[in-house]
Chains A and B, each alone.
Chain A
Amino acid sequence: MQELIQAVEQADSPGNLIAAVRALAAAEIEAGIPTLIAVLGYNNPGAATAAVQGLIQMGEMSVQPILELLDGYNYGARAYAIRALSAIGDPRALECLIQAAANDFAPSVRRSAAKGLGSLRWNQLPAEQIADKQAKAVHTLKQVCHDPDWSIRYAAVAGLQALAKSGNQQPILAAFEQMLQTEAEIAVRARVQLAQQQLKCEV
């Protein structure tokens, strides 16, 4: 086990690093999580992707370490970490995703946070907290729907659609109606229409 971690730390070429990260990720050992998180900052996309996969596979086990080790100074690393948190969907990431969706300067971070806010596993929260926390997520995503960057608005629509499936649809449907009045970007309008269509089908 220690050998797998050392192999990552001592890899002497980008190719070796990717192979070592893949091996460590596949082993799914808790002690390897900080190393996988460190790899996100190595500026090696192949290795980072493998590390994200490993973190996602380990699921809830990864969440607390990612939240503690999140790199505030390296947006590349942060984007990978947010992607992992979004895919895992553990509601402990809520505050972190709200911050990232609303305030991060990197569009890639904001997009994956916005999408992730929609697909948290709300039922892991105490029942009495769910409505309140979902309202917070909806509030954030509605703000993000006004971002100047179309791709971030697009991601917020996808996030809102996912949220509408697991909670109070009313404010989300109202936000979509509102967006169709004002949204100028065709791609975002189309995504709003798709969300409306798919939500209608499920009712």
Chain B
Amino acid sequence: MQESSPEQSPEAAQLTVEQAIANLRHEDLSLRYYAAWWLGRFQVKEAPAVDALIEALADEADRTELGGYPLRRNAARALGKLENLKAVPPLIACLDCSDFYVREAATQSLGMLGDRSCIPYLMQLLAGGVEAAVRVPERPHLAQPCEAAIEALGSLRATEAIPLIQPFLEHPVERVQYAAARAMYQLTGDNAYGDRLVQALNGADIQLRRMALNDLGAIGYLEAADAIASAAAENSFKLIALKGLLEHQYNQTSQSLSDDAIRVMNLMDALL
């Protein structure tokens, strides 16, 4: 997942909740853009913030040369962090936006909000299967945000999407394969899928190893603990992955310290 983080500017640092909400309708488009990011970053959950962000999902003023909608992207990203299900229908509507990055942000946020009513719409993004999931000419992305859709379906426990997701294990793009392995593990609990991500830790590309670490943390795959600790990547990435394992373990054992949780913490301590 990508985090958009505009440059800090002096007036931005002094932003208040009221100003940020007001700035979403400011005539200066860059202030609108920043305010949307800010409201998500600081998780401003008040109703007026949610309403103003939902309004910003239909913004027409802020356009890129290629026809993208920067404000809509940031608003969609922010709404994923505010835990308000009122945003679900308008985010679903964003899945038809002409801008890929709006569709991607909306997909990620729908996965985070956890409302299962979006599942059929997310499945729609994968409708053509692997054959349709091809790169758009001259753009750095596929026709649809497949990776995000697969991850969201996994975290929404959409078992009905298993037959749709499984073929993506063979998608030519590795990060899409990882997303499929991650979702398949969440949907089936089968260690074979977790182990695929563990194998990805031995890949040649550091970027892909970091991604596999992130995925293993997201699914809390305990069997990967030692492989994570010894992976060839920066300690920061390993700590985040192990944190995911620890949280998963801690929640499953109703917040008591199991031997496995202690084992994970010992590995984390050694990475400090």
Complex formed: what's the CA distance from A54 to B84 in Å?
A: 54
Q: Which of A112, A114, A115, A193 contacts B257 (CB under 8 A)?
A: A193
Closest A residue by C-beta to B248: A186
Main secondary structure of the interface of B (DSSP, over half): helix
- Report chain A residues within 8 Å CB of B240: 151
CB under 8 Å from chain B, chain A span 180-203: 186-187, 190-191, 193-194, 197
B27 on the interface (CB 8 Å rule)? no
The answer to whether A186 and B251 have CB atoms under 8 Å apart is yes
**A187 → chain B, closest Cβ, in Å?**
4
The answer to whether A115 and B269 have CB atoms under 8 Å apart is yes
**A44 → chain B, closest Cβ, in Å?**
14
The answer to whether B257 and A151 have CB atoms under 8 Å apart is no
The answer to whether B239 and A151 have CB atoms under 8 Å apart is yes
B174 on the interface (CB 8 Å rule)? no
A111 on the interface (CB 8 Å rule)? yes
**Contact string, B224-243, partner A, CB cutoff 8 A, digits 1/0?**
00000000001110011001
The verdict on A190 contacting B265 (CB below 8 Å), with A111-B272, A197-B257 known, is yes
Q: Which of A107, A158, A190 contacts B269 (CB under 8 A)?
A: A158
The answer to whether B246 and A107 have CB atoms under 8 Å apart is no
Complex formed: what's the CA distance from A190 to B244 in Å?
A: 12
The verdict on A114 contacting B272 (CB below 8 Å), with A108-B235, A190-B261, A193-B257 known, is yes
- Report chain B residues within 8 Å CB of A186: 246-247, 250-251
The answer to whether A194 and B247 have CB atoms under 8 Å apart is no
Closest A residue by C-beta to B235: A108
The answer to whether A187 and B246 have CB atoms under 8 Å apart is yes
Chain B CB within 10 Å, residue with most, of A107, A190, A191, A197: A190
CB under 8 Å from chain B, chain A span 109-167: 111-112, 114-115, 150-151, 154-155, 158
CB under 8 Å from chain A, chain B span 19-55: none
The answer to whether A194 and B272 have CB atoms under 8 Å apart is no
The answer to whether B265 and A191 have CB atoms under 8 Å apart is yes
Closest A residue by C-beta to B251: A186
The answer to whether A155 and B257 have CB atoms under 8 Å apart is no
Complex formed: what's the CA distance from A197 to B259 in Å?
A: 13
- Report chain A residues within 8 Å CB of B257: 190, 193-194, 197
Main secondary structure of the interface of A (DSSP, over half): helix
- Report chain B residues within 8 Å CB of A187: 243, 246-247, 250, 268
Closest B residue by C-beta to A79: B235
**B265 → chain A, closest Cβ, in Å?**
6
B192 on the interface (CB 8 Å rule)? no
- Report chain A residues within 8 Å CB of B269: 115, 158
Complex formed: what's the CA distance from A150 to B251 in Å?
A: 18
Complex formed: what's the CA distance from A73 to B265 in Å?
A: 32
The verdict on A108 contacting B265 (CB below 8 Å), with A114-B272, A186-B247, A186-B251 known, is no
Q: Which of B236, B247, B265 contacts A151 (CB under 8 A)?
A: B236
B93 on the interface (CB 8 Å rule)? no
- Report chain A residues within 8 Å CB of B239: 151, 154
**B266 → chain A, closest Cβ, in Å?**
9
CB under 8 Å from chain A, chain B span 94-114: none
The answer to whether B261 and A108 have CB atoms under 8 Å apart is no
- Report chain A residues within 8 Å CB of B261: 190
- Report chain A residues within 8 Å CB of B272: 111-112, 114-115, 154-155, 158
Complex formed: what's the CA distance from A111 to B247 in Å?
A: 20
Complex formed: what's the CA distance from A111 to B236 in Å?
A: 10
20 additional contacts (CB under 8 A) given A108-B236, A111-B235, A186-B246: A108-B234, A115-B269, A150-B243, A151-B236, A151-B240, A151-B243, A154-B268, A158-B272, A186-B250, A187-B243, A187-B246, A187-B247, A187-B250, A187-B268, A190-B246, A190-B265, A191-B268, A193-B257, A194-B262, A197-B257
Q: Could you tell me which B residues sit within 8 Å of A by CB distance?
A: 234-236, 239-240, 243, 246-247, 250-251, 257, 261-262, 265, 268-269, 272
The contact sample of 27 A-B pairs, CB cut-off 8 A, is: A107-B236, A108-B234, A108-B236, A112-B272, A114-B272, A115-B269, A150-B243, A151-B239, A151-B240, A151-B243, A154-B239, A154-B272, A155-B272, A158-B269, A186-B246, A186-B247, A186-B251, A187-B243, A187-B246, A190-B246, A190-B250, A190-B261, A190-B265, A191-B268, A194-B257, A194-B262, A197-B257
